[in-house]
């Protein structure tokens, strides 16, 4: 059911606490209760009929909607300045249902090359098997290249606000202009930036997705994803491109989704078809945990981004480091876009390349103690990972090279610890590399000594 936007008169910190709230008239609970119920009772025959027909907007079954989940949807729609939102079981599920609600077999999607490896696999293996072709643009800043690659069957343009793990920042307004001129929606993954640092809809994005498991949740305790619709894309401008929204639907008594839901047609289609039928349901318990996390989002992200900037500058000064990928650094190729779109901070995820390749990366990785060695980002705890042998290991060497995933690359997700403590921990990694380098000449000398 649509969640109407409200006037935005308060600041972000106030909104993250209060947005989307509905008073509990039964017991007066101050926070949204967890409705752990698979289904919901009907008062009578007529109400059951009307809920299934859509004439009554009450809840029917948690796979199609739940009061706890709906509260999270309202909150996220307001924070991202969207018309409506749909929550699902993971970030991967969010992206899947978002794209499947615009594209079908024979269609084409244009994406930035720098996207996360899990997303790439969804695009190439998952959607490829469905007959949806995804093409990748190497230089996301080259708007002319995006325009050149648009086809008559292109159905969406996709990019990440901040790329994971290379930290490239996308030109949101520029790509929005490309998509608008082509008459296709611009889909943005805003996971690494969060609505606290930037709201892509304010720069022309039509659809925003998040892995809510990351910064929105913030504590590494819950999986979830969300699709947020700006409600501004004109789905009727090219009826043949989006027939599922423009043509009569039997489930709507012969009306089209646009006739039945107007500006809410896209999210109604996700709720009724791509999410409800494929079934990636978000547990109400996880929805509750994500809501709790959002209430401190700005506090966490502000501190994490501030600490990341300090650590990035420190890493850049280390002789073993070839490159630091962090848009907050003046030396970074995305610094100008970061200043434009991310003035509050450039995020808490960064990566750096060690000169010694995989051997140095392994020594460094095994030497840290405070950083958790794990595949996750956006946690209150700081995390470290070697993408080339983990998240990106399944990609061929050429694809990894295009994505700048080298053997010496390490990714950091900065948590809430003291920056000085994190730097002391990273010094352990450099000490291990330096100790190995100092021992190497001795070992070589011992080998040639009679």
Does residue 5 fall inside a structural domain?
no
Distance from C-alpha of 319 to C-alpha of 266, rounded to nearest angstrom? 51
Regarding whether 306 and 281 lie in a shared domain, the answer is no
Return the CATH number at 429.
3.90.1150.10
Task: Please list, in sequence order, all residues whose beta carbon lies within 8 angstroms of the beta carbon of residue 94, skipping any fewer than 6 positions away.
Answer: 88, 209, 210, 211, 212, 225, 226, 227
Query: Could you tell me whether strands 108-112 and 133-137 are parallel, antiparallel, or unpaired per DSSP bridges?
Result: parallel
Among residues 270, 294, 318, the one where a domain terminates is 294
pLDDT of residue 393: 79
Number of domains into which the chain is organized = 2
- Reading phi first (left if > 0) and then psi (alpha if -120 to 50, else beta), residue 411 is in beta
Are 40 and 64 in contact by the 8 Å Cβ rule? The answer is no
Residue 37: helix, strand or coil by DSSP? coil
Regarding whether 276 and 355 lie in a shared domain, the answer is no
- Please name which of 149, 191, 194, 157 lies closest in space to residue 177, comparing C-alpha atoms: 157
Are 119 and 159 in contact by the 8 Å Cβ rule? The answer is no
Regarding whether 364 and 290 lie in a shared domain, the answer is no
pLDDT of residue 443: 45
Regarding whether 252 and 170 lie in a shared domain, the answer is yes
Residue 227: helix, strand or coil by DSSP? strand
Regarding whether 353 and 219 lie in a shared domain, the answer is no
DSSP 123: I
Distances in whole angstroms, Cα of residue 39 to Cα of each of 67, 70, 289: 11, 15, 21
Among residues 261, 278, 294, the one where a domain terminates is 294
Q: pLDDT by residue for the chain (450 residues), tens digit each?
A: 445 454 457 898 888 888 877 777 777 788 888 899 999 999 999 999 888 877 888 898 989 899 999 999 999 999 999 999 999 999 999 999 999 999 999 999 999 999 998 999 999 999 999 999 999 999 999 999 999 999 999 999 999 999 999 999 999 999 999 999 999 999 999 999 999 999 999 999 999 999 999 999 999 999 999 999 999 999 999 999 999 999 999 888 899 999 999 999 999 999 999 998 999 999 999 999 999 999 999 999 999 999 999 999 999 999 999 999 999 999 999 999 999 999 999 999 999 999 989 899 999 999 999 999 999 999 999 999 999 898 887 877 888 887 788 889 999 999 999 999 999 999 999 999 999 988 876 544 444 333
Regarding whether 411 and 316 lie in a shared domain, the answer is yes
pLDDT of residue 441: 65
Regarding whether 152 and 67 lie in a shared domain, the answer is yes
Regarding whether 166 and 40 lie in a shared domain, the answer is yes
Return the CATH number at 21.
3.40.640.10
Among residues 246, 261, 294, the one where a domain terminates is 294
Residue pointed to by tokens 């209150």? 380
Distance from C-alpha of 201 to C-alpha of 290, rounded to nearest angstrom? 22
pLDDT of residue 446: 40
Consecutive H or E run containing 186: strand 186-189
The strand pairing partners of 413, in sequence order, are 349, 383
Residue 234, phi then psi, degrees to nearest 5 = -90, 90
Distance from C-alpha of 50 to C-alpha of 36, rounded to nearest angstrom? 23
Regarding whether 92 and 166 lie in a shared domain, the answer is yes
Are 270 and 87 in contact by the 8 Å Cβ rule? The answer is no
Does residue 2 fall inside a structural domain?
no
pLDDT of residue 23: 75
Q: For residue 124, what are its two tokens? A: 């190439």
């Amino acid at each position: 059911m649509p969640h109407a936007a409200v006037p935005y008169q308060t600041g972000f910190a106030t909104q993250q606490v209060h947005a989307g709230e509905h008073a509990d008239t039964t017991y007066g609970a101050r926070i949204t209760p967890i409705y752990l119920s698979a289904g919901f009772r009907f008062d009578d025959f007529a109400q059951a009929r009307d809920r299934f027909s859509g004439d009554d907007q009450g809840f029917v079954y948690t796979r199609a909607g739940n009061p706890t989940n709906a509260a999270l949807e309202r909150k996220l729609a307001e924070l991202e300045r969207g018309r409506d939102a749909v929550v699902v079981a993971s970030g991967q599920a969010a992206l899947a249902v978002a794209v499947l609600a615009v594209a079908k077999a024979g269609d084409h999607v244009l994406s930035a090359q720098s996207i996360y490896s899990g997303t790439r696999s969804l695009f190439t293996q998952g959607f490829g098997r469905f007959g949806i072709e995804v093409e990748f643009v190497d230089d996301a800043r080259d708007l002319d290249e995006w325009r050149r690659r648009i086809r008559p069957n292109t159905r969406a343009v996709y990019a990440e606000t901040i790329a994971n793990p290379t930290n490239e920042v996308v030109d949101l307004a520029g790509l929005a202009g490309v998509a608008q001129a082509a008459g296709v929606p611009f889909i943005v993954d805003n996971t690494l930036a969060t609505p606290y640092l930037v709201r892509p809809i304010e720069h022309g994005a039509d659809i925003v997705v998040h892995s809510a498991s990351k910064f929105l949740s913030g504590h590494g305790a819950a999986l979830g994803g969300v699709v947020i619709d700006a409600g501004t894309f004109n789905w009727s401008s090219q009826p043949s491109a989006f027939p599922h929204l423009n043509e009569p639907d039997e489930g709507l008594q012969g009306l089209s989704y646009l006739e039945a839901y107007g500006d809410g047609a896209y999210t109604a289609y996700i709720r009724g078809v791509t999410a409800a039928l494929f079934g990636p349901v978000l547990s109400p318990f996880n929805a509750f945990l994500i809501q709790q996390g959002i209430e401190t989002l700005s506090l966490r992200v502000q501190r994490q981004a501030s600490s990341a900037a300090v650590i990035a500058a420190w890493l850049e000064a280390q002789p073993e480091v070839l490159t630091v990928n962090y848009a907050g650094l003046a030396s970074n190729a995305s610094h100008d876009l970061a200043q434009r779109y991310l003035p509050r901070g450039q995020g808490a995820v960064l990566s750096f390349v060690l000169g010694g390749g995989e051997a140095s990366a392994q020594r460094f990785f095994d030497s840290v103690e405070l950083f958790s060695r794990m595949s996750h980002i956006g946690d209150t705890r700081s995390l470290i990972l070697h993408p080339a042998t983990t998240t990106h290991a399944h990609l061929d060497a050429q694809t990894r090279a295009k994505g700048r995933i080298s053997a010496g690359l390490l990714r950091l997700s900065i948590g809430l610890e003291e920056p000085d403590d994190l730097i002391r921990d990273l010094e352990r990694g450099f000490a291990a590399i330096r100790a190995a380098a100092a021992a190497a000449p001795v070992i070589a000398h011992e080998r040639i000594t009679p």
